[in-house]
Amino acid sequence: MDKYVIGCDYGTLSMRAVLVRVKDGFIAAEESCAYENGVITGRLPDSGVRLEGPDWALQDPDDYTRALLKCVTAAIKAAGVFPEQVVGIAVDFTTCTVVPMDADGEPLCKDPRLRDRPHAWVKLWKNHTAQKEADDINEYVHKNGLKILDAYGFRASSEFLFPKLLEIYRKDKEVYDCAHTFLEGGDYVTFKLCGKIARSGVMAAAKGFYDNETRAFPEKAFFAGLEPGFKNVVEEKRLENVARVGSPAGTLTPEMAKQLGLLESTVVCTAHADAAVALPGGGVVKPNVMMLVMGTSTCHMMMAKEKATVPGMCAVYYEGILPGYYTYEAGQNAVGDIFDWFCKNCLPEEYKAEAERRGLSAMQLMDEKAAALKIGESGIVALDWMNGNRSVLQDADLSGVLMGLKLSTKPEHIYRALLEATAFGTKIILDRFAEYGIAVEEIFACGGLAHKSPVLMQMYSDVLGLPIKITAHKQTSALASAVFAAVAAGAYGSYEEAAKSMVPPPGRQYEPNTDATKKYREIFAVYKELHDYFGAGGGGMKKLKRLMAQN
Amino acid sequence: MDKYVIGCDYGTLSMRAVLVRVKDGFIAAEESCAYENGVITGRLPDSGVRLEGPDWALQDPDDYTRALLKCVTAAIKAAGVFPEQVVGIAVDFTTCTVVPMDADGEPLCKDPRLRDRPHAWVKLWKNHTAQKEADDINEYVHKNGLKILDAYGFRASSEFLFPKLLEIYRKDKEVYDCAHTFLEGGDYVTFKLCGKIARSGVMAAAKGFYDNETRAFPEKAFFAGLEPGFKNVVEEKRLENVARVGSPAGTLTPEMAKQLGLLESTVVCTAHADAAVALPGGGVVKPNVMMLVMGTSTCHMMMAKEKATVPGMCAVYYEGILPGYYTYEAGQNAVGDIFDWFCKNCLPEEYKAEAERRGLSAMQLMDEKAAALKIGESGIVALDWMNGNRSVLQDADLSGVLMGLKLSTKPEHIYRALLEATAFGTKIILDRFAEYGIAVEEIFACGGLAHKSPVLMQMYSDVLGLPIKITAHKQTSALASAVFAAVAAGAYGSYEEAAKSMVPPPGRQYEPNTDATKKYREIFAVYKELHDYFGAGGGGMKKLKRLMAQN
């Protein structure tokens, strides 16, 4: 009988599971499940306690287990496989998403005594209430000349692990004290599956200051410097058992095996990060191939043999994708979000009506109109910083710009400039890699935008002057988790073999048009001029943000 | 019996006439008439000859006389005055609008042999086909160190008289040769009224290189330098009889008196320019009071006793408003046009629906939403250069900018930034006057925007930190022409007396809010930073325009 594995991809709003045949990657079933409580922002469930300000983004850990049970059982049922055919399961997850947990392995927010306390809940990666703590860490590290942030572009964000923990320590000491440990969301699901804590080394390195080479968190002096009582956070909160990428965490607990309808012998793999895992999911198991994970924002992930400091990258750390390689990570804070913003806020009535009449989404209509323009015809260059700039400027206080508006400017001129700006933003990142001697030999892309906007992807290929391969399967990350499950279960001896058998070759490939590439060079030069001017603090952009904050 | 005068204001699309009681300015009747042929752009009437390119803007001179007859006879009928009560008539007109005329006093385009020749038609002020000729003049003047352009901010535009005449000379020599003379549109109507050519010194100085102090056009060497055969253009084309501002041109011809139903003794005043004339129409008959004539674009007009070179002004010339004063003229190329552009191209469906439901224009709705925002709340600063920049940068190749866009940006944030940008643009002009020692002691405003947008006008007052007085009568220019008619007819000995009796005091007055002024100072500093950076050629703005032109 054929063997199968299960890959579970936990995103921000929903979870997707695939049941995959080990020998050839055939996807026997695919299920998805939106989280009942989604992203919690305004008020806490049940208690109705108000969450002040726009920075909260909490989640309900029961949504994770409910989605797991629902999708996995449905997939097994749909495919009609027997329990003994399923040899492994793995999850990938958003990071850093933090679950405060008690000694019994239950999330603190499930404790009736703590259910009305915001800090007892799961903090989603994009919960930004710990900005002060991130600022404090940055200040402390820079003042004391520490190396802790060297791997993170010299800057901690409020999305990281320790700003989140320090915030709980400061703002709700009781919750902090009640916490037996804090787990990443992915580690929590793995724990639920196998009953053992096996922290994802990928996640610990990506957002948790963990060094996969020395296998250590920062020293106590660092934590003590932030807050004396925070000195022993690693020991007191048991931040231990960090596992190497892809290593087996255990096998299913009897209870979980029963609930999922699987055997207890089913191997559970350590969790992976949802963007990083996309590379093997696209069949990329070698260095110097960049994967663009393109959705509301874009993650640029790549492996390399060598370690180099590339200024402006989000992070450079060991074993964040596959064993033995350094992971290079860059990002654009808003990509699809910008196009959404435009379609919701700037599209006149007649465009909306045309889209409806022709059965197109607003974005499909605008893609079509933008594609009909010649390169340079819009006369507009935009800066794609509507949600700040992650790479290479690493500045959340930057904002978007449109230059070249005329009385003859039409919506499609602006829209096209926005598409181009995100492509230029990617070129800035690639150019930075090249500048520091890190070769980018191939480009892959996955994610919603990569699969649904040929206009955008052709533009990226033309702007970058490189071919772009689109991953064959839309659920690139879930498929990747299945690959990890297969290797962890011993079905393959290496990721190379597993990927070769289980991942189909890229689907559509975009080839750059030489003439277009030449024309874009000139417009990119204008983008670069604006980028460097505003990026260096020109134009009063940051002053404006401060004035805005006074309101 | 009370005496009356008639003021006729010829705009770009229509003419408005007022019949005004001399003793107190009571407006006995008010009529308006749109030009049948409007602005001719695509094809010539009758012949259907195609006008290539976007730069043409022709008019039919018969529209001027038809509007005159219709409005004046209707006004007299409506008011029920007797012919002998009407003592004077005056017109103001767009400038420079050129009518090629034959020896019989008929426009060349009425000649069946020339009717299919574009250059035989009236070229409206905004006909831009003579850009090459304007460029040639600028180059020649600068190369030879001439002073001719000193009064015009050192730059001739394609809207000026001699670029237009040189173009006809070069592109249709036959039409040029057939022309007995070329008249400004206002001079043509005056000629039709009184049968005599009395060129408006105001217009000749404003756009015709005529010096009202030396009472001379440029010397022959200048014209010869442009084109040898163009040397004697002033003599050959009889550019003579330039009259001082406000002087009587004659009395009605028997034919015109009969057609209008007036006496032949009715005095006809020399024509005035439609924006410049607004000052006396608002009761401003003294120096150092600036009038903002606010519509699709804004003209800033002021009188001063002293002559100074203020870099970046459109023009500084003698007797362009009232006798004895220098006229200072600045401009913003697009103001109301920008708000129109936004409402047409950037307003989402639900805003449009809300405006319709509440019976508001799009602009009224957006004014309301913009007014509900606090100063600085939008976090956006715009550059109002969607149609280039006239003052103080004098650069048609500049374009609009929006800085500070975020994913949370709403249409009203952008709209408010656009309103503010036009106010900041005015402040740049006022600051430039102050820098060069020309005092601006009071601000008046007239025109469509001044009368219909209290939100905008309060913003201007706050940004400038000065009170703004709105002219009492919406037909400010037509009323001004009536004042000129009254003085020319001898009903008053001075413009001061005439304005005091005939022009009502300002209507609404806007007072600056001290706190708002303080806050705007900070945002203006950001505007100024962007203004200076892009104005000095930064950001690749002009390169972008060149790339666009290659398409």
Spell out which residues of chain A touch residue B384, defining contact as CB-CB under 8 Å: none
Beta strand A4-10 with A86-93: parallel, antiparallel or unpaired? parallel
Would the CB atoms of A522 and B543 count as touching at under 8 Å?
A: yes
From the list B399, B407, B411, the residue facing A386 with the nearest CB is: B407
Instruction: Tell me the pTM.
Output: 0.91
Q: What is the mean pLDDT of residues A245-256?
A: 98
Spell out which residues of chain B touch residue A379, defining contact as CB-CB under 8 Å: 399, 544-545, 547-548
Residue A489 confidence (pLDDT)? 98
CA distances from A264 to A9, A96, A196, A247 (A): 22, 29, 14, 18
Would the CB atoms of A386 and B402 count as touching at under 8 Å?
A: no
Please check whether residue A411 touches B, CB under 8 A.
yes
From the list A338, A349, A519, the residue facing B352 with the nearest CB is: A349
Smallest CA–CA distance, residue A356 to chain B, in Å, is 12
Interface of B with A in 517-536 (CB under 8 A): 519, 522-523, 525-526, 529-530, 533-534
Residue A21: enclosing H or E segment and its boundaries?
A: strand A14-21
Contact call for residues B21 and B4 (beta carbons, < 8 A): yes
* pLDDT 10s digits, A430-472: 999 999 999 999 999 999 999 999 999 999 999 999 999 999 9
Residue A460: enclosing H or E segment and its boundaries?
A: helix A454-464
Angle at the Cα of A50 from the Cα atoms of A45 and A53, rounded to 5 degrees: 125
Residue A445 confidence (pLDDT)? 98
From the list B345, B346, B407, the residue facing A334 with the nearest CB is: B407
User: Taking the C-alpha atoms of A48, A50, A51 and A53 in order, what is their torsion angle to the nearest 10 degrees?
Assistant: 150
The CB-based long-range contact list for B232-240 (8 Å cut-off, 24+ gap) reads B233/B162, B233/B165, B233/B169, B237/B165, B237/B179, B237/B180, B237/B181, B237/B182, B238/B180, B238/B181, B239/B181, B239/B182, B239/B199, B239/B208, B240/B197, B240/B199
Residue with tokens 């350590």: A270
Positive or negative CA dihedral for A204, A208, A213, A219?
Answer: negative
Would the CB atoms of A376 and B547 count as touching at under 8 Å?
A: yes
Interface of B with A in 275-334 (CB under 8 A): 334
Would the CB atoms of A399 and B402 count as touching at under 8 Å?
A: no
Distance of alpha carbon B371 from alpha carbon A354, whole angstroms: 32
Nearest residue of chain A to residue B546 (CA atoms): A379
Would the CB atoms of A377 and B551 count as touching at under 8 Å?
A: yes
Amino acid at A357: R
Residue with tokens 């900041």: B424
Assigned token pair, B469: 């007085």
Would the CB atoms of B544 and A403 count as touching at under 8 Å?
A: yes
Please check whether residue B336 touches A, CB under 8 A.
no
Per DSSP, the three-state class of A155 is: coil
- Helix B411-435 to helix B336-345 angle (10° resolution) is 160
Distance of alpha carbon B260 from alpha carbon B194, whole angstroms: 12
Pick left, alpha or beta for residue B450 (phi over 0 → left; psi -120 to 50 → alpha; otherwise beta).
alpha
Nearest residue of chain B to residue A376 (CA atoms): B548
The backbone torsions φ and ψ at residue B267, rounded to the nearest 5 degrees and listed phi first, read: -75, 135
Give the DSSP per-residue string, B180-205. Answer: SEEEEHHHHHHHHHHSS--EEHHHHH
Residue A508 confidence (pLDDT)? 95
Nearest residue of chain B to residue A349 (CA atoms): B349
Would the CB atoms of B547 and A345 count as touching at under 8 Å?
A: no
In this predicted complex, what is the ipTM? 0.91
From the list B405, B411, B543, the residue facing A400 with the nearest CB is: B405
* pLDDT 10s digits, A160-214: 999 999 999 999 999 999 999 999 999 999 999 999 999 999 999 999 999 999 9
* pLDDT 10s digits, B2-30: 999 999 999 999 999 999 999 999 999 99
Beta strand B298-304 with B289-294: parallel, antiparallel or unpaired? antiparallel
Spell out which residues of chain B touch residue A548, defining contact as CB-CB under 8 Å: 376-379, 404
Would the CB atoms of B399 and A404 count as touching at under 8 Å?
A: yes
Would the CB atoms of A345 and B402 count as touching at under 8 Å?
A: no
Residue B550 confidence (pLDDT)? 80
Would the CB atoms of B379 and A544 count as touching at under 8 Å?
A: yes
Spell out which residues of chain A touch residue B375, defining contact as CB-CB under 8 Å: 551
Contact call for residues B461 and B511 (beta carbons, < 8 A): yes
Please check whether residue A402 touches B, CB under 8 A.
yes
Please check whether residue B391 touches A, CB under 8 A.
no
Interface of B with A in 358-377 (CB under 8 A): 374-377
Q: What does the pLDDT profile of chain B (551 residues) look like in tens digits?
A: 999 999 999 999 999 999 999 999 999 999 999 999 999 999 999 999 999 988 899 999 999 999 999 999 999 999 999 999 999 999 999 999 999 999 999 999 999 999 999 999 999 999 999 999 999 999 999 999 999 999 998 889 999 999 999 999 999 999 999 999 999 999 999 999 999 999 999 999 999 999 999 999 999 999 999 999 999 999 999 999 999 999 999 999 999 999 999 999 999 999 999 999 999 999 999 999 999 999 999 999 999 999 988 888 889 999 999 999 999 999 999 999 999 999 999 999 999 999 999 999 999 999 999 999 999 999 999 999 999 999 999 888 899 999 999 999 999 999 999 999 999 999 999 999 999 999 999 999 999 999 999 999 999 999 999 999 999 999 999 999 999 999 999 999 999 999 999 999 999 999 999 999 999 999 999 999 999 999 999 999 988 988 888 87
Amino acid at A117: R
Contact call for residues A297 and A275 (beta carbons, < 8 A): no
Please check whether residue B345 touches A, CB under 8 A.
yes
Please check whether residue B516 touches A, CB under 8 A.
no
* pLDDT 10s digits, A76-121: 999 999 999 999 999 999 999 999 999 999 999 999 999 999 999 9
Contact call for residues B480 and B258 (beta carbons, < 8 A): no
Nearest residue of chain A to residue B415 (CA atoms): A346
Q: What is the mean pLDDT of residues A303-327?
A: 93
Would the CB atoms of B551 and A376 count as touching at under 8 Å?
A: yes
Nearest residue of chain A to residue B335 (CA atoms): A407
